[in-house]
Structure 1
Amino acid sequence: MSVIVTRRRVAAGALTCALLAALTACGDGGPATGSAASAGAEPANLTVLAASSLTDVFRTAGAAYEKAHPGTKVTFSFAGSQELAAQVKQGAPADALVTADTRTMDGLKAETGTAQIVARNRLVIATGKGNPHKIGGLKDLAGTKLKVVLAAPEVPVGRYSKEILDRQGVTVKPVSQEPNVRAVLSKVELGEADAGLVYRTDSAKSGDKVETVEIPDDQNAVASYPAAPLKASKHAAAAAAFVAWLSSPEAQKILQEAGFQQP
């Protein structure tokens, strides 16, 4: 009799464990988030298309993700959001996408899973080291002797730049229009431009190569960064897990230490 009871208890215990495991993996049927989603993903080699302004912070984040998920490799491809969108439309092999604006992501609903905002950013004026032209705000960028560089209007940071300049009634004739924010910053760093509008995080990363002039919040624009898995991914679960992880406390700490704002 005791043998039968013992066997029944063992079977019941095994069934309970199985049920708990299933609940942990599946939850209530809704989308998994953060570390819970990541824990259930199979190791994979992921390719993530990401906006240029995420270059430095995502390299740090990718290393942290790989450390927490042995066997998973994350490779990033950085470019302007409009270039990334073109790559997705053309069927470039990738698993997830992170853009610097919601408009670009919204235009890819047929190619992406559910998007979520993972960070925000603001614009600043980057000037030459020491700010030799004494630029103090947006209105100073209208100076005819000033060489100003902006991102092209189809690039998110270029669109944000036009938005805030138009709102202040400032007309700027840029000496060039660049394909991404890093190219704008590079022009200022190299002395090929006196000033440019870039994201706060990019200017901060440049260190003492440029001077940063803050733009008041009531004159500024907020850049939102949505992330989404790509439907064409061959590693759907792993891609969704990485996107979910970007909202986790660990990832948010990395993003905010780099100067990005909370979603």
Structure 2
Amino acid sequence: MTVRRLTTAGAAALVLVLGLTACGGDGGGSSSSAAPASASGTGAAGAPKASGSITVFAAASLKETFTALGATFEAANPGSRVTFNFGGSSALAGSINSGAPADVFAAASAATMKTVTDAGGAAGTPQTFVRNTLTIAVPKGNPKHLAGLADLAAPGVKVALCAKEVPCGAAALTALKAANVTLTPVTLEQDVKGALTKVELGEVDASLVYRTDVRADSGKIDGVDFPEAAQAVNDYPIAALAKAPNKDGAAAFVAFVRSPEAQQVLTAAGFQAP
């Protein structure tokens, strides 16, 4: 197994995505998009228009792409403002079920979305808009020469995982079980960005994160693909919320995320079409 690096075409595509991004970063938390210089990109033909504030709770792994899409959405819908709350999907779902005001939820797993739908929190049936797979994030150059999941259990190798309650943690456990690998991580993080940051800071030798997160941080991190990732693919569902303060805005944003234009941005960042 060799270290996976971005191709020239993939890097160019990601530059295009991040060029649209109004704000970024590696952690979770809240952010608000800002309109790009040009509004030439618009939403799907016939999609509902929106105005006012739209609050989107979204998985941390969507931070770069959704921030870019939020800016494009605002440009296509004058008078709208999209505010994001990025974090671990399970924590976001818990906040929604506890009554936190939000218009849209985009989760990193169907199981997490189900906790919201089971509580009556979704308006309609959630729709899968992308899929994502895991890779092993390692420092640039892969100094430990890690080639697969079995290497993560070697003596002296420090590994960060997402907590099992978080979609990236559940996927990691599925992949490790498929590889018949048992390991004890030195830390369990509450979202995928936290696990990736541990590698960036040199606090661990590797972490299991989504391929999209490695691509977004390719200047600092390399990714090592492994075959068992195919058995731990995460569907990402999105839904307008039943108690959305801005129901029209929620419907419009969901329709935009599922549009061909938004899909092009998402797949350029490494997500898989549903």
**What's the TM-score, normalizing by structure 1?**
0.84
Q: Which amino acid aligns with 2:83?
A: T
- Residues 1:37 and 2:42 aligned together: no
1:90 corresponds in structure 2 to 98
Asked if 1 retains the 8 angstrom alpha-carbon contact of 2:133 and 2:230, the reply is: no
Who is 2:151 aligned against?
Answer: 140
Counterpart position of 1:230? 241
Q: Does 1:63 align with 2:71?
A: yes
> What amino acid maps onto 2:170 in structure 1?
R
Counterparts in 2 of 1:170-189, with a 5 A limit? 170-189=181-200
- The residue aligned with 2:265 is 254
In structure 2, the partner of 1:47 is 55
Aligned-residue Cα RMSD (Å) equals 1.4
SS at the partner of 1:171? coil
Gaps of 5+ in 2: 1-42
Alignment partners' CA distance in 2, 1:217 and 1:34: 36
Aligned partner of 1:165 among 169, 176, 199 = 176
Sequence identity (%): 45
The answer to whether residue 206 in structure 2 is matched with residue 195 in structure 1 is yes
| Aligned length, in residue pairs | 229
1:208 Cα deviation (Å)? 2.6
Q: Comparing both structures, which one devotes a greater share of its residues to helix?
A: 1
The one-letter amino acid paired with 1:224 is: D
What is the match of residue 227 of structure 2? Answer: 216
What is the CA deviation profile of residues 122-160 of structure 1, one whole-angstrom value per residue up to 9, with x for unaligned ones?
100001221111000111111121001100000000000
In the aligned structure 2, how far is the partner of 1:208 from the partner of 1:37? 37
Residue 220 of structure 1, CA deviation = 4.1
Q: 3-state SS of the aligned residue for 1:48?
A: strand
Counterpart code for 2:192: V
Q: Is the 8 A contact 1:153 1:159 kept in 2?
A: yes
Cα distance in 1 for partners of 2:82, 2:267 equals 21
Question: Tell me, which stretches of 5 or more residues in structure 1 are unaligned?
Answer: 1-32
Helix, strand or coil: the match of 1:37?
coil
CA distance in 1, matches of 2:246, 2:221: 41
TM-score (norm 2): 0.81
Offset at residue 182 of structure 1 (A): 0.1
**Contact 2:130–2:236 at 8 Å: present in 1 too?**
yes
Q: Is the 8 A contact 1:35 1:245 kept in 2?
A: no
Is residue 126 from structure 1 mapped to residue 134 from structure 2 by the alignment?
no
Deviation at 1:90, TM superposition (A): 1.1
Task: Report the CA distance shift for 1:215/1:234 in structure 2 as closer, same or farther (over 3 A).
Answer: same
Q: Tell me which stretches of 4 or more aligned residues in structure 1 moved more than 3 Å.
A: 217-220
Matched letter for residue 270 of structure 2 = G
Structure 1 residue 216 displacement after superposition:
2.1
